[in-house]
């Protein structure tokens, strides 16, 4: 009797084991299918791609610094290499998109370096038990930011030089520019740090970041309605100013900025006011250009509701992400300002990229971002249970970063497919595929040893 019971029990355990394995395999299969579906998701529709086919670049750069200094300098480099040594600086095999990406990496490297040495912005605060950022880092950041600025100005000239200018390069360029909108001001904050007397609080710096974001967004919203990208003057000034400030900090140390200007205005407060002013100064020009587009019927002539449609996502996230630190029971902006800056900058970049796609393809822009419900739930949960606030901040940062990178990679890959391009190469995609097939065919025909 006991043997029979043992046999039945073993059979039952075996059957249960097999059932669990089948369920586990089924879950794995479904998970892999979902992951594959997500990774292969296409964001661009046929309407988008058809719109890109008819796109023509139109921009106006009236900045005196850009027109009279930088463009002649960049043109000199291009003409110098074309006349004397064709491959002196930028050989013809160097893809313009690779130059754009290298410039972005220079800015990203600055952010990584300063994140390592000054995660919480205390290094330049002169507070007890703080270690200043090494001098060589400031020199490195100055070189990197100027290289990024130069590569950003020359990549288009390289594209026209080798006959590769088109929508892919512009979308890639402006998409990465939207990401640097958070990297540049965040790096500058490390110069001043959390010094109570001579700098600003993390919350006030957060307002500066959002002002930079909105200023960038307005320029592309302006193009969405006028069809022309009016390049703001503030960009050239900010890049030159950033380079000069990094060099000054390298030579004199961060203590150079710990002083008052005339009328007792601290240096850090003056820089804050200058950044706000430069952003606000662009707003009247944007409104005038949009108005002229309607008055002279040279713009897209959209209705009012369609014209303001792209503004809703950025305004919603601005409200959500500015309300969070204000209402935070654990003062999240003081605990981890860098993570909050990066979260805001990443979701802003994603919203901006979607606007850029819409204006370049002449399609209707989205008025609702799919991540809005997730942000509302996480922020509400963090306010209700402050213990999880920092965890939810990093959870949103991770999810947003992965989603944004996936969006960017997918869109660029679709554009490369559509235009028969390889993103970081000057060769056509079908040429490489044909060459690969020929090599494989010749290899298959060759006799084996």
pLDDT at 113: 97
Report the b/e string of 367-380 with b at 16+ CB within 10 A: eebebeeebeebbe
Is 310 within the bounds of a domain? Answer: yes
Q: Which percentage of the chain shows pLDDT scores above 90? A: 65
Cβ-contact 100, 424 below 8 angstroms = no
User: What's the number of domains the chain is made of?
Assistant: 1
Strand-pair category, 265-266 with 260-261: antiparallel
Q: Once rounded to an integer, what is the mean pLDDT over residues 172-192?
A: 96
Is 147 within the bounds of a domain? Answer: yes
How many residues in the chain? 449
Indicate the pLDDT class of residue 378, thresholds 50, 70 and 90: very high
Which one has a higher pLDDT value, 114 or 35?
A: 114
Is 159 within the bounds of a domain? Answer: yes
The yes-or-no verdict on residue 86 having pLDDT over 80 is no
Is 6 within the bounds of a domain? Answer: no
State the Cα–Cα distance between residues 91 and 189, nearest whole angstrom.
37
Q: Once rounded to an integer, what is the mean pLDDT over residues 85-92?
A: 65
Cβ-contact 130, 254 below 8 angstroms = no
The yes-or-no verdict on residue 385 having pLDDT over 90 is yes
State the Cα–Cα distance between residues 21 and 249, nearest whole angstrom.
62
State the Cα–Cα distance between residues 96 and 108, nearest whole angstrom.
18
pLDDT at 75: 82
CA dihedral 94, 100, 102, 103 (to 10 degrees): 130
pLDDT at 219: 95
Instruction: Single out the residue of 82, 187, 161, 95 nearest to residue 432, CA to CA.
Output: 95
Q: Once rounded to an integer, what is the mean pLDDT over residues 89-112?
A: 92
pTM: 0.89
State the Cα–Cα distance between residues 125 and 258, nearest whole angstrom.
9
CA distances (Å), origin 382, targets 216, 314, 374, 375: 30, 22, 12, 10
| Neighbour tally for 41: CB within 10 Å | 10
Pull the structure tokens for residue 179. 């990401």
Pull the structure tokens for residue 271. 């820089």
Is 12 within the bounds of a domain? Answer: no
Indicate the pLDDT class of residue 434, thresholds 50, 70 and 90: low
Residue 328 domain boundaries: 46-61+90-428
Q: Once rounded to an integer, what is the mean pLDDT over residues 400-428?
A: 94
Is 274 within the bounds of a domain? Answer: yes
Is 162 within the bounds of a domain? Answer: yes
The yes-or-no verdict on residue 406 having pLDDT over 50 is yes
The yes-or-no verdict on residue 449 having pLDDT over 50 is no
Q: Once rounded to an integer, what is the mean pLDDT over residues 73-95?
A: 70
State the Cα–Cα distance between residues 448 and 439, nearest whole angstrom.
15
CA distances (Å), origin 359, targets 24, 52, 392: 46, 10, 33
- As a whole number, the mean pLDDT across the chain is 88
Is 320 within the bounds of a domain? Answer: yes
Indicate the pLDDT class of residue 183, thresholds 50, 70 and 90: very high
pLDDT at 431: 63
Strand partners, 59: 229
| Neighbour tally for 290: CB within 10 Å | 21
Three-state SS annotation for the chain: CHHHHHHHHHHHHHHHHHHHHHHHHHHHHHHHHHHHHHHCCCCCCHHHHHHHHCCCCCEEECCHHHHHHHHHHHHHHHHHHHHCCCCCCCCCCCCHHHHHHHHHHHHHHHHHHHHHHCCCCCCCCCCCCCCCCCHHHHHHHHHHHHHHHHHHHHHHHHHHHCCCCCHHHHHHHHHHHHHHHHHHHHHHHHHHCCCCCCCCCHHHHHHHHHHHHHHHHHHHHHHHHHCCEEECHHHHHHHHHHHHHHHHHHHHCHHHHCCEEHHHEEHHHHHHHHHHHHHHHHHHHHHHHHHHHHHCCCCCCCCHHHHCCCHHHHHHHHHHHHHHHHHCCCCHHHHCHHHHHHHHHHHHHHHHHHHHHHHHHCCCCCCCCCCHHHHHHHHHHHHHCHHHHHHHHHHHHHHHHHHHHHHHHHHHHHHHHHHCECCCCCCEHHHHHHHHHHHHHHHHHCCCC
Indicate the pLDDT class of residue 53, thresholds 50, 70 and 90: very high
Q: Once rounded to an integer, what is the mean pLDDT over residues 350-370?
A: 96
Q: Which of 107-111, 151-155, 179-183, 309-313 has the lowest mean pLDDT?
A: 151-155
Instruction: Name the CA radius of gyration of the chain, rounded.
Output: 26
CA distances (Å), origin 265, targets 102, 268, 332, 351, 355: 38, 8, 28, 36, 39
pLDDT at 242: 95
State the Cα–Cα distance between residues 422 and 431, nearest whole angstrom.
10
Which one has a higher pLDDT value, 268 or 35?
A: 268
Cβ-contact 202, 121 below 8 angstroms = yes
pLDDT at 62: 87
Residues 6+ apart with CB under 8 A from 39: 406
């Amino acid at each position: 009797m006991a043997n029979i019971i043992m046999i039945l029990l073993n059979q039952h355990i075996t059957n249960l084991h097999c059932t669990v394995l089948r369920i586990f395999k089924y879950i794995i299969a479904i998970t892999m299918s979902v992951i594959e579906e997500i990774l292969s998701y296409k964001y661009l529709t046929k309407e988008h791609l058809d719109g890109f086919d008819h796109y023509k670049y139109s921009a106006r750069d009236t900045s005196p610094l850009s027109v009279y200094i930088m463009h002649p300098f960049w043109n000199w480099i291009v003409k110098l290499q074309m006349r004397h040594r064709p491959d002196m600086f930028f050989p013809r095999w160097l893809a313009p998109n690779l130059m754009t990406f290298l410039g972005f990496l220079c800015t990203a490297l600055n952010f990584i370096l300063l994140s390592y040495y000054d995660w919480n912005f205390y290094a330049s605060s002169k507070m007890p038990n703080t270690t200043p950022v090494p001098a060589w880092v400031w020199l490195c950041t100055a070189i990197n930011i100027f290289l990024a600025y130069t590569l950003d100005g020359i990549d288009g000239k390289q594209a026209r030089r080798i006959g590769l200018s088109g929508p892919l390069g512009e979308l890639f360029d402006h998409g990465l520019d939207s990401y640097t909108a958070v990297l540049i001001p965040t790096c500058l904050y490390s110069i001043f740090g959390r010094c109570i007397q001579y700098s600003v609080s993390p919350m006030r710096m957060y307002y500066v970041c959002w002002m930079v974001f909105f200023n960038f967004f307005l320029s592309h919203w302006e193009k969405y309605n006028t069809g022309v990208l009016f390049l703001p003057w503030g960009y050239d000034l900010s890049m030159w100013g950033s380079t000069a400030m990094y060099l000054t900090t390298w030579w004199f140390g961060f203590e150079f900025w710990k002083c008052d200007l005339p009328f007792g205005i601290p240096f850090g407060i003056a820089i804050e006011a200058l950044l706000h002013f430069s952003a606000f100064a662009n707003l009247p020009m944007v409104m005038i250009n949009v108005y002229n587009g309607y008055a002279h019927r040279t713009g897209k002539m959209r209705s009012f509701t369609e014209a303001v449609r792209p503004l809703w996502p950025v305004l919603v996230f601005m409200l959500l992400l500015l309300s969070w630190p204000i209402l935070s029971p654990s003062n999240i902006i003081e605990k981890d300002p860098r993570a909050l800056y990066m979260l805001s900058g990443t979701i802003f970049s994603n919203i901006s990229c979607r606007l850029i796609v819409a204006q370049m393809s002449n399609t209707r822009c989205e008025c609702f971002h799919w991540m809005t419900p997730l942000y509302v739930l996480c922020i509400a949960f963090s306010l209700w249970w402050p213990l999880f606030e920092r965890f939810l901040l990093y959870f949103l940062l991770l999810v947003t970063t992965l989603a944004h990178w996936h969006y960017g990679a997918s869109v660029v890959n679709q554009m490369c497919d559509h235009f028969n391009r390889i993103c970081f190469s000057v060769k056509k995609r079908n040429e490489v595929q044909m060459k690969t097939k020929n090599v494989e065919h010749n290899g298959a025909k060759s006799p084996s040893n």
